[in-house]
Structure formats: C-alpha cells, structure tokens
C-alpha cells in the first residue's frame, strides 16, 4: 500500500488577481499561465509518481465542489472535502488529516496550496521525496523553504540553524517571521540564514495529530469526534457543525510557530506563490519589449506591460509603459503595475456597485 497522501488547499478567492479571480470563479480554477491546464490541475499533476490519484484530497469551499469535480474528474466525492465557511488553514488541514488518519494510520502527508507555480518539476519532486523520507518514521513537522532571490516583503521568512557538518538539506527551524519590513528583509537575505516560507508542509499523520492535540486542542477535539463519521453519508453534516465551532487560525500561527520539532527543507524549484499580477509578470515569458501578453492583442510603443484579455476580442494598445491590462467577463481593469496593491481597493469599490463584478 502506498502511504503517501497529498492535501491540496483550494478554497481561497485570491482577490489580488481580480478581475480574473472572483468569488464565483477563483484563480486556482483558471489557466493563468496559458498552458491548457488550470492552476489546480497543474498542482495535482505535480504529484504524478509521488502518490496514486486515489490518495489526493482537495479541501475547498462547498461553492467550488462542482468546479473541482469538472477539473479533476478522476477524484471521488470522498476526495473532495467541502468547507461550509472559510476558517483559514488550520481547520482545513485538520479536517483532511483526521479524515486520512481514519483510513490510513501510517499516512505520510504533503499539504500544498492550489495556486502556486513551480517551474522545475523534477527538482520539486526530488525535494518532496527528501521531505517525505524525513517525516516517514520521525515525529517532525517539515516545511519547504525557498532560497530568497531578493528582500521581498510579501513573504514570510524562516530562520534555520545552519548545521553544515551533516550536509543535509533538512535543517532545524529557529524562528518564523511574518512579512517583514524592507530593512529587516534585507538583513535576512544578507545573513544567509533565512528562506521564504512556501506554505508547503510535510508530516506523518500521527505527528500532525499529536501537534494539534498539543497546540490547538480545541481543533483536535472537534475533528477527532468525526472518527466514525468520515467516509459516511453523515460526514458533510458533521463538518458543517464542526466548522461552526472552529476559530479562524492559520497552521503557521496555530502550530508551526509553537512546535519545537519543526524542520525546513532548503529548496530551489522555481517557486512563486502567484499572489499578484506582478508575480505573474515576473514568472512569464516576455517579448523583446518586456511585455507579457495573453489574448488577441496588437501593441504599439508599449513596454513592461502584462496584458491578459479574451481571445475573441481584438485589443489594441498604444503608448503604455508598466501597466496591467486585464479583462475578464464584465470587467476591464487598467492599472499601473507599481500600484497593483490598489486592486483590493478596486474590488471593495466594485462590490459596493454590485456583486456581479466580484
């Protein structure tokens, strides 16, 4: 029996990717890169050879169950876990892990977000196998840390203990720091002791359940009660009630920052969390004028832009430098790349004008 499992977290909305990412159709269900596969499908594809298809579980909002089934038809109903409300990552991970524990007490689990980009597939799989080997028979909680290429203030940072004698890529974690200010980020990168927190976790099911018991006992108690209900017709009713009792808390705040058995695997596999238009621009192929285009587009005297528009509409752009031009459904957005943080403001204002925009 293959004891490796994958949990894909696919419940977020990702408003910074508006107008593509909407509450009705978030970015993980879009073919953002123009590859013919959505971000969710690419995430599932990434684990081919790591675990069998029947060991992949998706945790998503009950609003997106149909989208998950359409995009990953190979999954059974039992593999699509529907959250009635968003409660951040700790309850989401607890639900999936306690359900898997009921089926396989020897499970060794990878947890990954559905909306990340990984450009070096072989290196990613090698890194995951390194992490799985570390967690298989050991009571440790492992996260993947990305070698930082710049002092980015948009990521969390992990400080590790540089024990060079062993030569292992698996290092003991010293501290977690949430999105630091620029000066601190510069110090982190210069020190060589910090990596970006990729939000990808690996552990065996006994270790994570033990950690929930210790650090989030109320969450552990809620999902332990489902032991005899998982994989039955009563599961959804149980989960709906369980989520009404859960507080909203991330796995980082709830468990990883408190535990003393946390390790990081130093990683470099072309990772981006694809959180913003600018991050999509950075990972995409660019023209000689440094434009990223996806659509039926004619450009004149235009550079440093990312333009993503419907294929059935001819779009002509003249004289732009450093802009995002994005059209999807009933919304066209034109915004300076450097001011992309205003997208959340746009979404809030659009919401006031009518829900059909968001």
Give the per-residue SS3 of 33-79.
Answer: CCCCCCHHHHHHHCCCCCCCHHHEEEEEEHHHHHHHHHHCCCCCHHH
Q: 2 — phi, psi (to 5°)? A: -85, 120
Q: Mean pLDDT, to the nearest integer, of 93-111?
A: 98
Orientation of helix 217-224 relative to helix 89-103, angle to 10°? 40
Indicate the DSSP class of residue 311.
T
**pLDDT at site 34:** 82
Return all residues near 262 (Cβ < 8 A) that are at least 6 apart: 140, 141, 142, 143, 172, 173, 256
- Phi, psi (5° rounding) for residue 258? -100, -30
Beta-bridge partners for 22: 25
pLDDT of residue 190: 86
pLDDT at position 166: 58
Q: Which residue has the higher pLDDT, 189 or 141?
A: 141
Average pLDDT over residues 287-298: 96
Distance CA 8, CA 242 (A): 20
CB atoms within 10 A of CB 133: 13
The answer to whether the CB of 279 falls within 8 A of the CB of 272 is yes
Q: What's the chain's average pLDDT?
A: 93
State residue 124's pLDDT score: 96
Q: Going from the N-terminus, what domains does the chain have, and what CATH number goes with each?
A: 4-272 (3.90.550.10), 277-357 (no CATH)
15-19, 193-197, 309-313, 353-357: range with lowest mean pLDDT: 353-357
Is the predicted pLDDT of residue 175 greater than 90, yes or no? no
Could you tell me if 330 and 358 are in contact, meaning their C-beta atoms sit under 8 angstroms apart?
no
- pTM, rounded to two decimals: 0.93
What is the structure's pLDDT at 285? 92
Residue 3 is predicted with a pLDDT of: 97
Task: Give the residue-averaged pLDDT of 114-141.
Answer: 95
Q: Specify the pLDDT at position 200.
A: 96
* pLDDT digits 0-9 by tens, 151-168: 888 889 999 988 755 567
The 323-328 sheet, strands edge to edge: 292-294, 306-308, 323-328, 331-336
Q: What is the mean pLDDT of residues 143-148?
A: 93
> What are the tens digits of pLDDT across the range 193-238?
899 999 999 999 999 999 999 999 999 999 999 999 999 999 999 9
The model's pLDDT over 247-285, given as tens digits with 9 standing for 90+, comes to: 999 999 999 999 999 999 999 999 988 888 998 998 899
pLDDT class of 122 with cuts at 50, 70, 90: very high
Report the 3 state secondary structure along 277-325. Answer: HHHHHHHCCCCCCCCEEECEEEEECCECCEEECCCCCEEEEECCECEEE
Instruction: Report which of 182, 131, 5 is spatially closest to residue 78, judged by C-alpha positions.
Output: 5
Backbone angles phi, psi at 289, to 5 degrees: -90, 15
Segment 120-133 mean pLDDT: 96
* pLDDT bucket at 355, cuts 50 / 70 / 90: low
Please name the residue that has the structure tokens 């524990």. Answer: 101
Structure tokens at 236: 């959804």
């Amino acid at each position: 029996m293959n004891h490796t499992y994958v949990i894909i977290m696919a419940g977020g909305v990702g408003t910074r990717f508006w107008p593509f990412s909407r509450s009705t159709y978030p970015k993980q269900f879009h073919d953002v890169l123009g590859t013919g596969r959505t971000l969710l499908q690419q995430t599932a594809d990434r684990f081919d050879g790591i675990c069998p298809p029947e060991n992949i579980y998706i945790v998503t909002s009950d609003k997106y169950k149909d989208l998950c089934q359409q995009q990953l038809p190979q999954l059974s109903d039992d593999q699509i876990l529907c959250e009635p409300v968003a409660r951040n990552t700790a309850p989401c991970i607890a639900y999936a892990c306690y359900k898997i524990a009921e089926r396989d007490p020897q499970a060794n689990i990878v947890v990954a977000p559905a909306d990340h980009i990984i450009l070096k597939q072989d290196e990613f799989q090698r890194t995951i196998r390194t992490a799985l080997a570390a967690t298989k028979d050991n009571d440790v909680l492992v996260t993947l840390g990305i070698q930082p290429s710049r002092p980015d203030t948009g990521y969390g940072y992990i400080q590790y203990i540089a024990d060079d004698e062993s030569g292992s890529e698996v290092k003991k974690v010293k501290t977690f720091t949430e999105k630091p200010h620029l000066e601190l980020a510069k110090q982190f990168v210069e020190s060589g002791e910090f990596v970006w927190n990729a939000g990808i976790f690996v552990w065996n099911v006994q270790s994570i359940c033990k950690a929930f018991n210790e650090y989030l006992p109320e969450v552990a108690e809620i999902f332990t009660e489902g032991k005899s209900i998982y994989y039955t017709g009563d599961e959804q009713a149980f989960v709906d009630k369980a989520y009404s009792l859960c507080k909203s808390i991330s796995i980082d705040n709830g468990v990883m920052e408190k535990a003393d058995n946390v390790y990081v695997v130093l990683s470099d596999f072309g990772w981006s969390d694809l959180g913003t238009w600018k991050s999509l621009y950075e990972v995409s192929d660019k023209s000689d004028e440094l434009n990223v285009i996806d659509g039926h587009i004619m450009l004149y005297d235009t550079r440093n832009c990312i333009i993503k528009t419907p294929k059935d509409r001819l779009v002509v752009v003249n004289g732009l430098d450093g802009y995002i031009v994005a059209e999807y459904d009933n919304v066209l957005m034109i915004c300076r790349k450097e001011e992309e943080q205003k997208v959340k403001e746009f979404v809030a204002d659009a919401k006031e004008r009518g829900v059909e925009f968001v």
